[in-house]
Amino acid sequence: MPRALGSLSASGEPEHSQDARRLRPEERSGGPAGQVTQPAGGARRRSCSQERMAMAATGAEVKEPQRHNGCLVRLSNPHLATMKEDLLYHFSLGTGTHDFPAMFGDVKFVCVGGSPSRMSAFIKYVAAELGLGRPDEDHPNICTGTDRYAMYKAGPVLSVSHGMGVPSIAIMLHELIKLLYHARCSDVTIIRIGTSGGIGLEPGSVVITRQAVDACFRPEFEQIILGKRVVRNTDLDEWLVQELMQCSSELAEFNTVVGNTMCTLDFYEGQGRLDGALCSYTEKDKQAYLHAAHAAGIRNIEMESSVFAAMCSACGLRAAVVCVTLLDRLLGDQISSPHEVLSEYQQRPQRLVSYFIKKSLGKA
C-alpha cells in the first residue's frame, strides 16, 4: 500500500499539507499551562460529527519548535507543599523512606510503555546501546513492593510501565511526575513507546504524534473533576517531533510518519471495531468514521496519548508519543500477524527512541 496522504516521509518532508495541521478547537480559552480551560465566552459545543467535519476542513498554524533547556519539573498542586511526606502508593515509594534525589536526580530521559516485560526489555536494550551494561544483564525492578507498575533505571534513563488505557497511565503519571519533582530533575524528556492501529498505513509503520485528539477529533483531554468538565490541551513538543523524525531518517530501517493520534477510551466500540461483544453500527459506518479521521490528519489510534500529552504539558515536561502500527484499520479489525512479526514491530519504537537518546548524549 502506498504511504498515506498527509504523512511525512522519513526525510521529514510533508507529502501533503493536511498532516502539517495543528488542530485548535474554537472553544478553547487561553491560560497558563496546567490550568482548567473551559469553552470561551460560553460558546456552544458542536456535536462530534460537526467537529469531525470542521477538523477535516480547517487547521491552525504550526508552532515554532522550542527547546526547553534547563527546565525543572513543575507541579500544579499547592496542597503538596503542606505534606510532610509524599507516599507514591502505586510505586511503593515515598519521600520519607527513599532518597529521591540520590536515586533519580540524574534522570534525563523517561520512557513509558504498557507492559512491564516490554519496559524491562527496553532498559536492557538501551543500557547496552549506551555502554551501561551487557545485553543479558538484568536491571532490578525498583517498584518491588507493588505489582501495579514496574520501573527500571540505567544511567540517565528511566523505563516505566503504565498499563492499558487512560485511567491506568494517568495514575502512573501523577506519581511519576511527582517523583521527578521530588528528585529535582531538570530538562527531562518523556516519551511513550507503544503499539497502535494504523489508518492508511502499512503494518509496522511508526507514527510520531504531532497532536493527540479525542474520538471526536478534538485536540483536548476532558476529565470530570468534582462534577465539573475540565479540559486541558494535548500539544506535544514540536522540536522533539522533528528530532525523532530526523533520527528515523538517519536509521532508515522502517517507514516513519508524523501525524495526529486518536486516543479512545476503549479498544472495541470506541475504535469502531466490528468484532467486540457489542456492536451497533455497520461496516459502512465504520469506514466513514475512519476515513473522516484520516482526512483530519489522524494516522493511528491508541488509548493513552491524550492524558499523557495533557499532563506532561501542564508540568513542563518535553514529551513525545512514538507508536508502531500493528495493522491498517481500513482493512480489518483483528491483529493476525505472526507472533515473531509483531515482536519485531514492537521493537521499532524502542530502536528509534534508543537512537534518539544515544544521539542526545553524543554517543550515536
Mean pLDDT of 283-292: 98
Residue 119 near residue 126 (C-beta atoms within 8 A): no
Task: Judge whether residue 247 has pLDDT over 80.
Answer: yes
- Tell me which amino acid residue 67 is: R
B/e letters for 312-332, b = 16+ CB within 10 Å, e = fewer, are bbbbbbbbbbbbbbbbbbbee
Its pTM stands at 0.82
Task: Judge whether residue 227 has pLDDT over 50.
Answer: yes
Provide CB contacts within 8 A for 40, sequence distance 6+: 26, 27, 28, 29
Mean pLDDT of 173-194: 97
Between CA 41 and CA 27 the distance in angstroms is 8
DSSP state of 59: -
For the chain, report the end-to-end CA distance as a whole number of angstroms. 32
Task: Judge whether residue 54 has pLDDT over 90.
Answer: no
Residue 70: predicted pLDDT: 65
Which of 23-27, 86-90, 132-136 has the weakest average pLDDT? Answer: 23-27
- Could you tell me whether strands 157-161 and 109-113 are parallel, antiparallel, or unpaired per DSSP bridges? parallel
Task: Judge whether residue 74 has pLDDT over 70.
Answer: yes
Q: What is the mean pLDDT of the chain?
A: 85
Residue 47: predicted pLDDT: 44
Between CA 234 and CA 221 the distance in angstroms is 7
Between CA 41 and CA 37 the distance in angstroms is 11
Task: Judge whether residue 321 has pLDDT over 50.
Answer: yes
Place of cell 503538596: 80
Write the pLDDT tens digit of every residue in 93-128: 999 999 999 999 999 999 999 999 999 999 999 999
Residue 60 near residue 24 (C-beta atoms within 8 A): yes
The residue with greater pLDDT, 2 or 150, is 150
Between CA 323 and CA 261 the distance in angstroms is 9
Task: Judge whether residue 58 has pLDDT over 60.
Answer: no
Residue 326 near residue 342 (C-beta atoms within 8 A): yes
DSSP state letters, 286-353? HHHHHHHHHHTTEEEEESSHHHHHHHHHHTT-EEEEEEEEEEETTT-SS--S-HHHHHHHHHHHHHHH
Residue 64: predicted pLDDT: 41
Pick left, alpha or beta for residue 36 (phi over 0 → left; psi -120 to 50 → alpha; otherwise beta): beta
CB burial of residue 361 (10 Å; 0-12, 13-18, 19+):
middle
Write the pLDDT tens digit of every residue in 2-40: 333 344 444 343 333 333 333 333 333 333 333 344 333
Place of cell 504524534: 209
- Categorize the per-residue pLDDT at 72 as very low, low, confident or very high, splitting at 50, 70 and 90: confident
Percent of the chain surpassing pLDDT 90: 77
- Categorize the per-residue pLDDT at 69 as very low, low, confident or very high, splitting at 50, 70 and 90: low
Task: Judge whether residue 138 has pLDDT over 50.
Answer: yes
Between CA 151 and CA 159 the distance in angstroms is 6
Between CA 334 and CA 338 the distance in angstroms is 12
Q: What are φ and ψ of residue 169, in 5° steps?
A: -70, -30
Task: Judge whether residue 249 has pLDDT over 60.
Answer: yes
Mean pLDDT of 180-192: 96
Place of cell 516490554: 118
Mean pLDDT of 287-295: 98
Between CA 47 and CA 91 the distance in angstroms is 40
Residue 134: predicted pLDDT: 74
- Could you tell me whether strands 228-233 and 220-225 are parallel, antiparallel, or unpaired per DSSP bridges? antiparallel
Which of 30-44, 121-135, 249-263 has the weakest average pLDDT? Answer: 30-44
